[in-house]
Amino acid sequence: MFDKLPGDRTVLLGAVGIVAASLTASGYLLGDGLRRAKAAEREVSVRGVFSERDVTADLATWTLTFSHTDPDFARAQRSVEGQARAVRRFLAAAGLRANEVTDSDVSLSRERPQYGESGPERFTVSRTLQLRTREVMRTRAAYSRQAELLGAGVELAGSNVSYTFTGLNALKPGMIAEANRNARTSAEQFARDSGAAVGRIKTASQGYFSVGARDGEDCEDCGSTGGSTPFQKVRVVTTIQYDLG
């Protein structure tokens, strides 16, 4: 019986050695995994306006609405027709082509006397003309003189001009490339300050483009048109996330 003890002891010691080696390997793998996970958390995200271009709108849309109210329907119609001719003459004198002016709306409303009131029924005829042209600066100059329409008997109920830049697609590739370069420069500055190095891109947005007024406050959430001014600024906002070494 006692002769078997040395052999059993050898087996026991061997088993203990195997367990110890397994624990050592597991500890190494666990520590290496934690190190890798910690390294994966080292990243920097940059977001902002990294590319801008000053542009001039190349399309103007001017909408003019006028009307006339009269107890006589035919007279109201004639008045509005005369006003339309006056608007067209005004635009032609400003150097804008007649085929760029279109009728976009016409409407009629009737106002009857309220209960207990006396007086005739009244008719209001409204009409809207729209100018759509590439002659942006001529439109801008004419719009600044629209008070002359009042002197010509036009009963303006609304006048609105909008300027649009339509060449955005041609600018996008160059602006995105510039935005990516500038974003990386910002990330590298941050990395130097924190004693790290910029690695590969983890995630990147395509970039949000906006077109807004050139003068005034910067706006990342401006609309896609410059609105009431032909002098505009195109901006691209990008968000890029980099690994840090």
Question: 232 or 219, which is more confident?
Answer: 232
pLDDT of residue 186: 80
Cβ(228)–Cβ(162) below 8 Å: yes
pLDDT of residue 180: 83
pLDDT of residue 156: 97
Which tens digits make up the pLDDT trace of 53-69? 999 999 999 999 999 99
- Top mean pLDDT of 89-98, 110-119, 193-202 is at 89-98
The whole-angstrom separation of Cα 183 and Cα 205 is 12
The whole-angstrom separation of Cα 56 and Cα 54 is 7
pLDDT classification of 25: cutoffs 50, 70, 90: very low
The whole-angstrom separation of Cα 158 and Cα 155 is 9
Q: What's the average model confidence in pLDDT over 168-175?
A: 92
pLDDT of residue 181: 85
Question: 202 or 82, which is more confident?
Answer: 82
| CA atoms lying within 13 Å on the CB side of residue 69 | 9
Whole-prediction pTM value? 0.72
Which tens digits make up the pLDDT trace of 126-137? 999 999 999 999
